Chains A and B, each alone.
Chain A
């Protein structure tokens, strides 16, 4: 069996972000990392490979050329090969364009499972897995806290309000996992050294049979503004007064917000 994990390179959450005039992230401005939520998908895939359930793990990313760094880092954690779709025509791709490109690449790779993180740390849309599944006409097993594979069936456990749902679908599937799968491993030194020799192939849009015009024409969304989150109201401090008075003040504050 074969898993392809979709990996996105994102700016580190701690990095200061700058935007271009058309509201695109200035990638040179920010330190980049593997989308932290994708690391759980990588961990899940590698655990299945270690257990012998899966023979090969590959990574797929769409992004600028420097996204190959994220793929190398993923390869250092484990897995066999990586594919980067990069093309000038992809700049500013919206989630629908992203999903189309990933779907086309996955058509080529034809894995039993295309595995993704539950969201990306930058845009936080959480829509790509569903969109890819829709385009490819495959079942979607989303938000798994664990993925299991048996013969021709994929099964996930999904946390619900009272326990777990077990959801299964015949292979091939698109699946996404949450941070419940377990802590992602650190790349070992030997892993890092080995990753340098693992195959990393670059594909253009033409390689996938998609034209840039077609993609741009298909954009469904447009960014009209980018703003940092609004500052929270300053913390109200209750200090240097007798405890009874402080307790009353806190109770009043909570009551005013209908919290008690």
Chain B
């Protein structure tokens, strides 16, 4: 098996890199400092058909393969992590529909999502249900031809600006989160829905992270995804695939920091020579580059498994996200080190990259949760899967 990029992959990378360098990178500092969603960049991505890459052509998307989607996110994140999250979440939010939606549901929502006219968000996490997804409390009570949703969600990326959400709520509280949760498509103009609050964050500051409130929000029965009780499974299968996007984001952030560090090391003079001529700096750069490349290749390998819908794809996407997230954190921190004091101030981009990198170790399953997924799969292969699985009701 080979993961060498095709000429089409190279072409896509070149096209996105040009756009990102010319139009996105120059906005990154401002987006971070003002903590404002970059609507202009969202429009730009929509216009260039870059929000529709995960949707099939019959819905107006471009149906790119998984490696291409990784390359897109990577190149955007290299310039600005906040902006890279726009296509990531467009895919994350719509994956439950891709996996469990009917043709009718897809026809209804995908064209507007593929064109970028509408944004979607993924509403799973609650204040008391983070890693422990099954501890969800939001209720969905059946009432005639509708469900009535009550409860709140926390940490929902784009939740305040999305036109539509995929939301997870208990239809059978007695059965608990794993068996009693269902998934719904909720349009955000529904009465009773509100987004009362945004978080103030360390990084990806231009990306709104919203609290969502559901007060007797009526959702038509035809907006349920799959059957009642399938919500937990849909959520897990979504995350098994979507965290590939976070791995890609992490690789992109690391690459951006590495490129900045190499350029700075070639230019900054101390002791009468460029600091890049010191072996101590060269060795750091070499480690940063090798680790970033290793993370990238693992991410491509995982993308190939997702593309093939391999049975062990959760193992691969978890491993990729784990390695890529840790790499992004380490490489951005080393980039700050190479910049010295200038790395610590906002005049240079690497402190932002370091702050942005941290989130890749947290969302779509923390690094601890990735290790649980990987460990569980290893033990399953060794024949003790049943016991381990029963014990962990945690996010896959």
Contact = CB atoms under 8 A, between A and B. Distances in A.
A39 B297 CA distance: 36
Contact of A190 (B11, B23, B62): B62
B368 interface: no
A188 B50 CA distance: 8
B19 interface: yes
A94 to B, nearest CB: 32
Interface string B58-86: 00001010000000000000000000000
B50 A189 contact: yes
Contacts of B50: 189
Interface string B13-24: 001001100010
Nearest to B68: A189
Interface in A171-199: 186-193
Contacts of A190: 49, 62
A188 B18 CA distance: 12
Interface string A216-247: 00000000000000000000000000000000
Contact of A188 (B12, B23, B47, B64): B47
B62 A186 contact: no
Contacts of A186: 15, 18-19, 23, 48
Contacts of B366: none
A192 B11 contact: yes
Contacts of B11: 192
B53 interface: yes
A193 B62 contact: yes
B18 A189 contact: no
Interface centre among A187, A189, A190, A193 (most CB of B within 10 A): A189
Contacts of A187: 15, 48
Interface residues of B, number: 14
A188 B19 CA distance: 10
Contacts of B23: 186
A186 B44 CA distance: 10
A193 B48 CA distance: 12
B29 to A, nearest CB: 22
Nearest to B22: A186
Contacts of A188: 47-49
Nearest to B53: A189
Nearest to B51: A189
Nearest to B44: A186
Contacts of B52: 189
Contacts of B53: 189
Nearest to A72: B11
Nearest to B16: A189
A10 to B, nearest CB: 16
Nearest to B11: A192
A191 B48 CA distance: 9
A175 to B, nearest CB: 28
A191 B11 CA distance: 13
Nearest to A189: B49
B12 to A, nearest CB: 8
Nearest to B49: A189
Contacts of B62: 189-190, 193
Nearest to B47: A188
A190 B47 CA distance: 10
Contacts of B64: 189
A46 to B, nearest CB: 14
A191 B53 CA distance: 13
Contacts of A193: 62
A55 to B, nearest CB: 24
A114 B339 CA distance: 52
Contacts of B19: 186
Interface centre among B47, B49, B53 (most CB of A within 10 A): B49
Interface in B194-216: none
Nearest to A196: B8
A52 to B, nearest CB: 20
Contacts of B18: 186
A193 B15 CA distance: 12
A103 B64 CA distance: 41
B273 to A, nearest CB: 21
A188 B116 CA distance: 13
Nearest to A192: B15
A109 B11 CA distance: 30
A191 B19 CA distance: 15
Given A189-B48, A189-B53, A189-B64, 20 more contacts: A186-B15, A186-B18, A186-B19, A186-B23, A186-B48, A187-B15, A187-B48, A188-B47, A188-B48, A188-B49, A189-B12, A189-B15, A189-B49, A189-B50, A189-B52, A189-B62, A191-B49, A192-B11, A192-B15, A193-B62
Give 3 nearest A-B pairs by CB, closest first: A189-B49, A190-B49, A188-B49
8 contacts: A186-B15, A186-B19, A186-B48, A188-B47, A188-B49, A189-B62, A192-B11, A192-B12
